[in-house]
Structure 1
Amino acid sequence: MSQAEARPRSQQETDMDPGSPQSGRPRQPDELVPSRYAVRIGEIEVLIISDGVLPLPTAMLGHNADAADRAAWLDEMFLPPDAFDWALNVVLVRSGGQTILIDAGLGLDPDLNLPRAGQLIRRLESAGIDLGSVTDVVLTHLHMDHIGGLLVDGVKDRLRPDLRIHVAAAEAKFWEAPDFSHVSMPPGFPDALRATAKRFLSEYGSHLRQFDEQSEVAPGVIVRRTGGHTPGHSVVRLASGSDRLTFAGDAIFAVGFEHPDWYNGFEHYPEEAARVRLDLLRELAATGEQLVATHLPFPSVGRVAVEGEAFRWVPVFWDY
Structure 2
Amino acid sequence: MNQIINNTQEASMKVDNTSHPGRTAPEELVPSRYAVRIGEIDVLVVSDGVLPLPTAMLGHNADPAARAAWLGDMFLPQDAFDWALNVVVVRSGEQTILIDAGLGLDPDLNLPRAGQLMKRLAAAGIDLASVTDVVLTHMHMDHVGGLLVDGVKEQLNPDLRIHVAAAEVKFWESPDFSHVSMPAGFPDALRAAAKRFSKDYQSQLRLFEDEHEVAPGVVVTRTGGHTPGHSVVRVASGNDRLMFAGDAVFAVGFDHPDWFNGFEHDPEEAARVRVRLLRELAATGELLVATHMPFPSVGHVAVDGDTFRWVPVFWDY
Aligned length: 303
2:15 counterpart residue number: none
**Structure 1: gaps (5+ residues):** 5-22
Q: Deviations over 1:31-72 (max 9, x none)?
A: 111100000000000100000000000000000000000000
Shift of 1:137: 0.1
Is 1:45 aligned to residue 42 of structure 2?
A: yes
**Where does 1:222-233 land on structure 2 (aligned, <5 Å)?**
222-233=219-230
Cα distance in 2 for residues equivalent to 1:211 and 1:35 = 31
* C-alpha contact (below 8 Å) 2:6/2:34 kept by paired residues: no
Is 1:265 aligned to residue 262 of structure 2?
A: yes
Partner of 1:265: helix, strand, or coil?
Answer: coil
Q: Deviations over 1:8-29 (max 9, x none)?
A: xxxxxxxxxxxxxxx7655411
Q: Over the residues paired in the alignment, what is the CA RMSD in angstroms?
A: 1.5
Cα distance in 1 for residues equivalent to 2:124 and 2:40 = 20
The structure that has the greater radius of gyration is: 1
Q: Deviations over 1:250-301 (max 9, x none)?
A: 0000000000000000000000000000000000000000000000000000
Distance 1:3 1:163, change over 3 A: farther
Cα distance in 1 for residues equivalent to 2:284 and 2:109 = 39
Shift of 1:84: 1.6
Partner of 1:194: helix, strand, or coil?
Answer: helix
Distance 1:127 1:179, change over 3 A: same
Cα distance in 2 for residues equivalent to 1:274 and 1:266 = 12
2:167 counterpart residue number: 170
Shift of 1:217: 0.1
Partner of 1:117: helix, strand, or coil?
Answer: coil
Cα distance in 2 for residues equivalent to 1:26 and 1:303 = 41
* C-alpha contact (below 8 Å) 1:46/1:93 kept by paired residues: yes
Is 1:143 aligned to residue 140 of structure 2?
A: yes
Worse overlay, 107-116 or 245-254: 107-116
Is 1:305 aligned to residue 302 of structure 2?
A: yes
Shift of 1:109: 2.4
Cα distance in 1 for residues equivalent to 2:70 and 2:285 = 25
1:221 counterpart residue number: 218
* C-alpha contact (below 8 Å) 1:220/1:240 kept by paired residues: yes
Is 1:155 aligned to residue 152 of structure 2?
A: yes
1:11 counterpart residue number: none
Match of residue 286, structure 2, among 283, 286, 289? 289
Cα distance in 1 for residues equivalent to 2:92 and 2:242 = 14
Matched-pair identity in %: 79
Cα distance in 1 for residues equivalent to 2:131 and 2:111 = 27
Is 1:91 aligned to residue 88 of structure 2?
A: yes
Q: Deviations over 1:109-158 (max 9, x none)?
A: 24112111000000000111000000000000000000000000000000
**Structure 2: gaps (5+ residues):** 9-19
Partner of 2:201: helix, strand, or coil?
Answer: helix
Q: Deviations over 1:158-179 (max 9, x none)?
A: 0011100000000000000000
1:251 counterpart residue number: 248
Amino acid at match of 2:226: H
1:14 counterpart residue number: none
Is 1:197 aligned to residue 202 of structure 2?
A: no
2:234 counterpart residue number: 237
2:76 counterpart residue number: 79
Amino acid at match of 2:190: L
Cα distance in 1 for residues equivalent to 2:174 and 2:147 = 22
Partner of 1:113: helix, strand, or coil?
Answer: coil
* C-alpha contact (below 8 Å) 2:7/2:33 kept by paired residues: no
2:64 counterpart residue number: 67
1:316 counterpart residue number: 313
Cα distance in 2 for residues equivalent to 1:156 and 1:3 = 29
Cα distance in 2 for residues equivalent to 1:306 and 1:154 = 45
Runs of 4+ in 1 over 4 A off after TM superposition: 1-4, 23-26
Shift of 1:3: 9.3
